[in-house]
Amino acid sequence: MDRGRVAAAGHSFAGQTAAVLLGLRVADPRTGVAEDLSDPRITAGLLLATAGKGGDHLSPFAAENLPWLREMDFSHVTAPALVVAGDKDALPPTTQGPEWTIEPYALSPGPKSLLTLFDAQHSLGGISRYEAAETTDENPARVALVQQVTLACLRHVLGIDGSAWAAAQAALAGTRHPTGRLESK
């Protein structure tokens, strides 16, 4: 194991956990204080269908029952990360729509990439939970794309091999690809 090459990855709220390890600050609803829970050993991340900043875009239910979603600060998420978002991902905790899962890319400084999956809902074309056989938007091609791009990104940002990442960037630039688009900042 190479302890100098450690990444955190997660889908949905697990993506928030990965983002916290990368520097996301979440205010404690009781005190309003946001602790730094980042781990300097984590040098890269994969944030799949991860919630955005919260604030005024929370649904009434989320505002009342998920208070930690109110104040999230992405300005400290500086490590390289790939954010994967579905353009049809309408999560119940927000009134904002699919744009909410793009915020981890838009609001985080440093090297970030965004893979937007066309016609993808929250499960991004895959299985919805452990040992489940159903999904809301089953699409094996989309799942294969997520697998290929996330692996290529990790290999690139961890300094293993950048060739597959360069190929993915070329293939997914703009809107030519039928399954998704990749952009970087």
Q: According to the model, what pLDDT value does residue 136 have?
A: 80
The verdict on residue 1 lying in a domain is: no
Q: Which two tokens stand for residue 168?
A: 């993915």
Q: How many whole angstroms separate alpha carbon 111 and alpha carbon 102?
A: 15
Q: Is residue 116 part of a domain?
A: yes
The pLDDT assigned to 69 comes to: 85
Query: Looking at residue 175, what is its pLDDT?
Result: 66
pTM (2 d.p.): 0.92
Q: In which residue ranges of the chain is pLDDT below 50?
A: none
Q: What is the pLDDT of residue 163?
A: 95
pLDDT of residue 78: 96
Total number of domains constituting the chain? 1
Residue 158 CA to residue 25 CA, distance in Å, equals: 24
Q: What is the pLDDT of residues 75-127, one digit of tens each?
A: 999 999 999 999 999 888 888 889 999 999 999 998 999 999 999 999 998 86
Q: Which domain holds residue 73?
A: 7-184
Predicted pLDDT of residue 131 = 74
Residue 31 lies in a domain: yes
**What sign for the dihedral angle of Cα 53, 56, 59, 63?**
positive
Instruction: Tell me if 149 is assigned to some domain.
Output: yes
pLDDT of residue 46: 98
Please report whether residue 27 resides in a domain: yes
Q: How high is the pLDDT of residue 30?
A: 86
User: Residue 2 falls within a domain, yes or no?
Assistant: no
